[in-house]
Amino acid sequence: MEEQIWHQYKWPAEVPHTLSYEPKPLFKILDETANKYPNRTYTIFADHEQTYRQILDMAARVATFLVQKGIKPGERVALFLPNVPHFPVAFFGSLMAGAVCVTCNPLYKANELNFQLKDCGARALFVLDHPVIYPTALEALKGTDVETVVVCTVKDFLPPLKGLLGGLLGKIPKAPALDPSHIPFKEVLKTPPNPPQLKIDPVEDLALILYTGGTTGVPKGASLTHDNIYSNLMMIDEWGRLEPKEGGPSIKVSETEQTYMGVLPWYHSYGLTLTLLSACRSGFRVVCVPDPRAGNPPFSEVLRLIQKYKVTILHGVPTLYSAIIHHPLIKQFDLSSILYCSSGAAPLPLEVAKQFEELTQGGLLVEGYGLSETSPVTHTNPTNRRGRKFGTIGLPLPDTMVKILDVETGDREMPQGEDGEIALSGPQVMKGYWNKPEENEKVFKMIAGRRYFLTGDIGHLDEEGFTVITDRKKDMIIVGGLKAFPREVEEVLYTHPKVANAAVIGVPDKKSGEMVKAFIQLKPGETVTEEEIIDFCKDRMAAYKRPHQVEFREALPMTPVGKILRRVLKDEEKQKRQAK
């Protein structure tokens, strides 16, 4: 790759600009790690550990079972599971069978899951035996092509005595009743481990379909090849360098032994690639967290697990870090084991980052960026304090190209420092949306012989080549002809000492066309008036950007990944105005 502006200033000296890729089937990472570290722990769940050798053996049995059930290469297998140990077994087993995995949000309602199963044409489904998840799947199966359903229960990965006691005491969640035609996960594991010998083209063959676009419209399946994801794992591996808290030269993360916190959902690209798959490639432990909000108060279980297992690496979202630093019992937990954390999926407020690093006594928190369509990571800040730059999403990873295009036509590259739509090119960029040729026409653009993905995000390159996100193209607020970007306003609101979460939208205004409205969730026990918030903003931003209305909420609508849903706020506001 030719030298770009982002290579010239704070690019880490030890990280090459381009990598040598060896395309391979994605399931090979489990095979290679299990052969190298057979007795190392991969997953930890309810104080019970599973080794890499055990997970590989179970995955091979799942693969054989699926082939016996008639699943052919390229057919889709859906996972409707939270972060439980069945997930990597079903994921890798499906890939070994030559199938394409489709990961489904376990918080989906039946109609949402039904749409996804129909859209991808899934032939098999792995689902958790759970009082909500299983009945949802049962309803969602109607009218789909799913012929094989495997029911996973929490007891599958509990020590025998603990599983027995839990069952006797009724502590293990399970569905009211199971369809007798559905196959228990434990029965699947009785299948001999004889997976097929497949000829997979990693560059062309799909490994995963991730549904995205739910925050902006009808969900679309981002089709990712084995090589899309594997190349992204290689980029992340090269970029990740740790500076020991006690000082000394940086160390490549994959050359150490770490414990990951599996708190981000694995059905989402962020949690899947950066936690479950990255840990697998390096032979690290992963603590499974099916419900991040578990405990009383919420998130107490996350804190307990960090302390018990001395978690060193945590990938999260700003709302998770905010929840941790504002936890009422935070002083009772020791989080000093944490060495490195990343933040993505939403803007990271500077105050949240500072407070979290103080809390972990020197743990490093850096912001990055990615999309389901890019496997997901395209940018991250250098993993050192000298190179990172707050308020930016960092630098493009090796072999990743960025262009800033004019918002109106997309035909003109913007001068450095000027906002435009962010376009990305690299080996991690998806093959396309599943069965959506018209959508692919809209989001891909050829520039100088390279294929670029149009992200829909607005931003610019600063003087050192760091990418600064200004906002989503569709979230732009036009106030009297002037453009106000919600993120800019939200960043100011987050500096208010009583604000926990904030979201900003544009609402109709007779004078200026639109005006800014803020929705605010206060920190526990705090009170503040609308006037105080508006006055707070007066000295901190131009008049057209300031909120003219403030609405306080107990909680703001969020995706399970922790991204605040401005679309929901917009819809609620629209309905409220129509009802007047």
Quick check: bond before 427 cis, omega within 30? no
Report, as an integer, the average pLDDT of 352-356: 93
Residue 235 has, within 13 A of its CA and on its CB side, a CA count of 29
State the pLDDT at residue 518.
97
Max mean pLDDT among 242-251, 324-333, 471-480, 484-493 falls in 324-333
Domains in the chain, ordered, with CATH?
5-21+222-470 (3.40.50.12780), 48-199 (3.40.50.980), 476-579 (3.30.300.30)
Greater confidence (285 vs 543) lies with 285
376/372 Cα distance (integer angstroms): 5
State the pLDDT at residue 331.
95
- Global confidence as pTM: 0.87
Length of the chain: 580
State the pLDDT at residue 245.
66
In tens, the pLDDT along 146-162 reads 999 999 999 999 876 56
Is the distance from CB of 340 to CB of 274 less than 8 angstroms?
no
30/36 Cα distance (integer angstroms): 10
**pLDDT confidence band for 123 (50 / 70 / 90):** very high
* Strand order from edge to edge, sheet including 364-370: 48-51, 41-45, 285-288, 259-262, 313-316, 340-343, 364-370, 377-380, 395-396
Report, as an integer, the average pLDDT of 197-211: 96
Residue 448, pLDDT above cutoff 60: yes
State the pLDDT at residue 473.
74
CA distances from 303 to 13, 264, 300, 321, 349 (A): 35, 14, 5, 11, 21
Residue 215, pLDDT above cutoff 50: no
Residue 474, pLDDT above cutoff 80: no
211/434 Cα distance (integer angstroms): 9
Report, as an integer, the average pLDDT of 241-264: 87
- β-pair partners for 516: 506, 547
Quick check: bond before 195 cis, omega within 30? no
Mean pLDDT of the chain: 92
235/229 Cα distance (integer angstroms): 10
Residue 482, pLDDT above cutoff 80: no
In tens, the pLDDT along 492-523 reads 999 999 999 999 999 998 877 899 999 999 99
Percent of the chain with pLDDT over 90: 78
Spell out the residues 6+ positions from residue 330 whose beta carbon is closer than 8 angstroms to its own: 303, 324, 359
CA distances from 8 to 3, 260, 479, 487 (A): 8, 32, 38, 28
Is the distance from CB of 77 to CB of 117 less than 8 angstroms?
no
Greater confidence (257 vs 474) lies with 257
- The stretches of 70-214 forming alpha helices (DSSP H) are 86-96, 110-120, 133-140, 160-169, 185-188
In tens, the pLDDT along 316-331 reads 998 899 999 999 999 9
Report, as an integer, the average pLDDT of 119-146: 97
> Is the CA virtual torsion 219, 487, 354, 538 positive or negative?
negative
> Is the CA virtual torsion 95, 97, 99, 101 positive or negative?
negative
Report, as an integer, the average pLDDT of 276-289: 98
In tens, the pLDDT along 14-55 reads 999 999 988 999 999 999 999 999 999 999 999 899 999 999
- β-pair partners for 482: 479
Residue 170, pLDDT above cutoff 70: no
Report, as an integer, the average pLDDT of 561-567: 87
E-strand stretches of 195-337: 206-212, 220-225, 241-242, 251-252, 259-262, 285-288, 313-316
In tens, the pLDDT along 79-121 reads 999 999 999 999 999 999 999 999 998 988 888 899 999 999 9
Report, as an integer, the average pLDDT of 336-364: 91
Report, as an integer, the average pLDDT of 261-282: 96
**pLDDT confidence band for 214 (50 / 70 / 90):** very low
Q: Look at strands 124-128 and 76-80 and give their pairing.
A: parallel
